[in-house]
Amino acid sequence: MALSLSLAPLSLNLATPPSKAKAPAATDFCYGLPGNIAPAGDWDPANLLDGVSKSEVYRWREAELTHGRVGMLASLGFLVQEFWHPLFSADGGPAIEQIPKLPPALWVAMTIGIGAAEALRIQAGWANPYEKMDNVQALKSDYYPGDLGFDPLDLKPTDPAELREMQEKELSHGRLAMLAAAGFMAQEAVTGATWGSRDVSFEQVLLGGEFAAKSADLARDAAL
For residues 117 and 135, the answer to whether their CB atoms sit within 8 Å is no
What CATH number has the domain bearing residue 7? 1.10.3460
- The DSSP output letter for 86 is T
Please name which of 85, 110, 43, 41 lies closest in space to residue 194, comparing C-alpha atoms: 85
| Residue 18 banded pLDDT, cuts 50, 70, 90 | very low
List residues bridging with 126 in a β-sheet.
Answer: 139
For residues 70 and 5, the answer to whether their CB atoms sit within 8 Å is yes
Domain count across the chain: 1
Q: What pLDDT, on the 0 to 100 scale, is given for residue 8?
A: 41
List residues bridging with 139 in a β-sheet.
Answer: 126
Range of the domain at 111: 2-223
**Rounded average pLDDT over 12-24:** 50
Q: What pLDDT, on the 0 to 100 scale, is given for residue 125?
A: 92
Q: What pLDDT, on the 0 to 100 scale, is given for residue 7?
A: 40
% of the chain with per-residue pLDDT over 70: 71
Long-range contacts of 160-164 (CB under 8 A, 24+ apart): 160/18, 160/20, 160/21, 163/14, 163/16, 163/18, 163/21, 164/21, 164/34
